[in-house]
Amino acid sequence: MQSQEKSLLSDQGRTCPLRGGWISFRLVDEFGEATPYAGLSYVLTDSEGTRYEGVLDGEAYARLTGTYSGPLILTLSAPYKGGEKIYADLSNRKDYPLPITELQAAAEQTLRRPIGSTSKTGAYRASAEKGEFHNVEVRDFVEFSKHLPPAAKLSNPVPAGCAKLARDFAGDKVPSFGVGLLPEKHYVLEVRALRAFRPLLSLAPEFSALNLYQLSLLATLSYGAFGQTPEKADAAPKKDFAFTYPSRGTIGHVLNTCLACFEEPSSYADSKKPSFPLVEDVPYSKRLEIVPFDPELYPQNDPSSGEELETPSDVHFFNDLRQGATDWKNTDTQAYATHDDRIILIGVRGTAEGWDGWRDADAKQVPIEGGTGKTHQGFYEAFMALRPFIERYILRFRTDQKIIVCGHSLGGAISLLLSEWLHREITSDVILYTFGSPRAGDKDFVESASGLVHHRIVNQNDPVPSVPAGWMDTKKPIWITGLAATVSGVLTPAAGGLVFAAGLTRFGGKPYWHHGEQRYFMPLRLPGREVSSVLWTPGCEGYEEAAMAKCVAQLKNNDTPDRKQFLVQAANGADHKMLDGYIPACWATLRRWQDTEKTGGYIISATESDRLKLEVETYRTQLEQWQIAADNEFPGGMIESRPQDRATAFQRRATMSDLQERQTAIRQAIKHNQKELDALKETITTITRLSTTTLTLANIYGDCTALPDLQTHIDRWAAHSENQKSERLAQIPSATNRATA
pLDDT of 150-165, one tens digit each?
Answer: 999 999 999 999 999 8
pLDDT in tens, 583-604: 999 999 999 999 999 999 899 9
Tell me the C-alpha distance between 374 and 368, whole Å.
6
Query: Which residues, in sequence order, are bridge partners of residue 63?
Result: 24
Strand partners, 348: 335, 407
Contact 121/189 with Cβ under 8 angstroms? no
pTM, full prediction: 0.89
| Residue 257 or 439, more confident | 257
Strand order in the sheet with 374-376: 365-367, 374-376, 441-442, 512-513
pLDDT for 569 equals 55
396-432 exposure pattern, b = at least 16 Cβ within 10 A, e = fewer: ebeeebbbbbbbbbbbbbbbbbbbbbbbbebeebbbb
* Beta pairing class for 365-367 and 343-348: unpaired
pLDDT of residue 388: 98
| pLDDT at residue 305 tops 90 | no
Please report the pLDDT score of residue 511 as a whole number.
Answer: 76
Q: Look at residue 495 in the predicted model and tell me its pLDDT.
A: 29
Q: What is the mean pLDDT of the chain?
A: 85
Lowest mean pLDDT among 42-56, 349-363, 714-728: 349-363
pLDDT tens digits along 641-698: 788 777 777 778 787 887 787 777 777 777 777 888 898 899 999 999 999 999 999 9
CA dist., res. 709 & res. 306, Å (int): 48
Residue 348 predicted with pLDDT over 90: yes
Q: Pick the closest to residue 191 from 26, 25, 24, 27 (CA basis).
A: 27
Q: How confident is the model at residue 198 (pLDDT cuts 50, 70, 90)?
A: very high
| Amino acid letter, 722 | E
* Distance from C-alpha of 438 to C-alpha of 465, rounded to nearest angstrom: 4
| The pLDDT of residue 554 | 56
The one-character DSSP state at 118 is -
- Side chain identity at 149, as an amino acid letter? P
Helix, strand or coil, per DSSP, at residue 666:
helix
- The set of residues, in sequence order, having a beta carbon less than 8 Å from that of 66 and lying 6+ positions away, is 19, 20, 21, 22
**pLDDT at position 507:** 38
User: What local confidence, expressed as pLDDT, does residue 99 receive?
Assistant: 98
Query: Facing residues of 133 across strands?
Result: 188
Q: Is the pLDDT of residue 561 over 70?
A: no
Phi, psi of 132 (to 5 degrees): -95, 130
Higher pLDDT, 582 or 491: 582
CB atoms near residue 11 (< 10 Å): 7
pLDDT at 235: 83
Higher pLDDT, 100 or 479: 100
Per-residue pLDDT at 582: 93
- φ/ψ of 293, rounded to 5, equals -120, 110
Q: Which residue has the higher pLDDT, 612 or 468?
A: 612
Q: How confident is the model at residue 509 (pLDDT cuts 50, 70, 90)?
A: low
Percent of the chain with pLDDT over 90: 58
Q: What is the pLDDT of residues 313-337, one digit of tens each?
A: 999 999 998 776 666 778 889 999 9
The backbone region for 221, taken as left when phi is positive above 0, alpha when psi lies in -120 to 50, beta otherwise, is alpha
pLDDT category at 479 given cuts 50, 70, 90 is very low
Give the pLDDT band (50/70/90) at residue 611.
confident
Give residue 73's pLDDT.
96
Q: Where are the alpha helices (DSSP H) in 542-634?
A: 542-553, 563-571, 583-599, 606-633
Range picked from 159-163, 293-297, 527-531 for highest mean pLDDT: 293-297
Separation between Cα atoms, residue 157 and residue 48, nearest integer Å: 25
More confident residue, 640 or 216: 216
Please report, as a single letter, which amino acid is at residue 298: Y
Least confident residue range of 7-21, 415-429, 514-528: 7-21
Closest CA to 76 of 58, 101, 107, 97: 101
The edge-to-edge listing of strands for the beta sheet with 41-45 is: 51-55, 41-45, 72-75, 179-181
CA atoms of 659 and 661, how far apart (whole Å): 5
CA dist 248 and 565 (Å) reads: 32
Lowest mean pLDDT among 89-98, 495-504, 617-626, 687-696: 495-504
299: pLDDT strictly greater than 50: yes
pLDDT classification of 119: cutoffs 50, 70, 90 = confident
Q: Which long-range contacts (CB under 8 A, 24 or more apart) does 77-84 make?
A: 77/43, 77/101, 77/103, 77/141, 77/142, 77/143, 77/177, 77/178, 78/40, 78/41, 78/102, 78/103, 80/104, 80/105
- The whole-number pLDDT of residue 435 equals 96
Confidence of residue 506 (pLDDT cuts 50, 70, 90): very low
User: Which pLDDT score is estimated for 359?
Assistant: 53
pLDDT value at residue 11: 44
The bridge status of strand 402-408 relative to strand 343-348 is parallel
Helices (H), 30-153: 85-92, 102-108, 122-128
Instruction: Give yes or no for a contact between 408 and 337, defined as CB atoms under 8 angstroms apart.
Output: no
Find the radius of gyration of the CA atoms of the chain: 32
